[in-house]
Amino acid sequence: MTATTTATPTAAPQAGRLVATKGHGTQNDFVLLDDRDGALDLTPALVRALCERRAGVGGDGVIRLVATAHVDDAPAAARAARWFMDYRNADGSVAQMCGNGVRVFAAYAQHLGLWDPAAGPLDVGTRAGLRTVAQVPADVGAGPWFAVGMGAVTLPGGATAVSDGGDAHVDVAGLAVTRPGLSVDVGNPHTVVVLADGADLARADLTVAPDVAPVPHDGTNVELVVPLGEEAGPDGHPRGHVRMRVHERGVGETRSCGTGAVAAAAAVRAWGGDQAPDVWLVDVPGGTVRVTLHADGQAELAGPATLVAELDVDLAALPA
């Protein structure tokens, strides 16, 4: 899609119609809405209807681009950004952050003429705080990629959870035994489960939400991960490699999850000890992303973002 310089917001319904854009990051797909002035009443029902794959547009979530000044619940740390990523899960619930979504948000801002990557990084407000996006060369496939500063990554259970093998018990449909899981906070909650091989990963039935105990207060995303060893990166330094599937709270299984990729890399590195790499390639059903875990606890996520269509949505035709 070629860049445009839209002069006025387009998301506010006009005569029962809504302009939207469809995009994805490693096939984690979104309906994008340009609502700079905050005029759109983005109800849970509208989100569910837009995300419905058979009778709506279809998507894992809705991303609304809005001026941060119009977002009443924007955290203080996010208010330095001009633009805010208002992200909603496919079930209509509000989400703090989406790592794939913020890359697609940046590509969308560029498409709208609101950001020029050559002028420097883009600050994006999110409910998890401020995120900064830059355009970078691709690691895999055609470029460019977008690299996102994901903020601090923490292990709520600390070193004890790591040494104990985890701080949760996870039952996954299709797998015979309960598995240990490690809680990881990437601005939203995750529980990472390491599996022995690809056969277990393939057997897992993620049409059913994994049962996690103890049950997290706000629910959790669950990542199933198979370590693939280490390889030399372009700079000659070793980097880890894992394969992942994910069940996202409020959505179900998705083709990719950016924060989940960060959580998976952080958990596998923690279990690997001090000699484990800081850079990880994470293969998901929708492609590959790169996670860099810095010594100060901050993480960076890099990967592709693609805009595929502009849509004129007839609101009356959406499912009730």
Distance between CA atoms of 247 and 220, rounded to whole angstroms?
A: 9
Q: Of 98, 114, 193, 224, which one is the catalytic site residue?
A: 98
Residue 51 known to be catalytic? no
Q: Cβ–Cβ contacts within 10 Å for residue 90, how many?
A: 25
Distance between CA atoms of 309 and 23, rounded to whole angstroms?
A: 7
SS3 234: coil
Is residue 144 exposed (0-12), middle (13-18) or buried (19+ Cβ within 10 Å)?
middle
With a CB cutoff of 8 Å and minimum separation 6, the contacts of 60 are: 28, 29, 30, 51, 89, 90, 248, 251, 254
Q: Of 112, 257, 265, 305, which one is the catalytic site residue?
A: 257
Residue 87, CA distances (Å) to 170, 189, 236, 277, 296 in order: 27, 15, 37, 31, 27
What would the DSSP string read from start to end of 258-283?
A: HHHHHHHHHHHHHHH-TTS-SEEEEE
SS3 50: helix
Question: How is residue 274 written in tokens?
Answer: 């001090």
Residue 313, CA distances (Å) to 9, 44, 58, 62 in order: 15, 17, 12, 14
What sign does the CA torsion over 33, 35, 38, 39 have? negative
Phi then psi dihedrals of residue 108, to 5 deg: -70, -45
Of 282, 304, 173, the C-alpha closest to 227 is 282
Active site positions, annotated? 98, 257
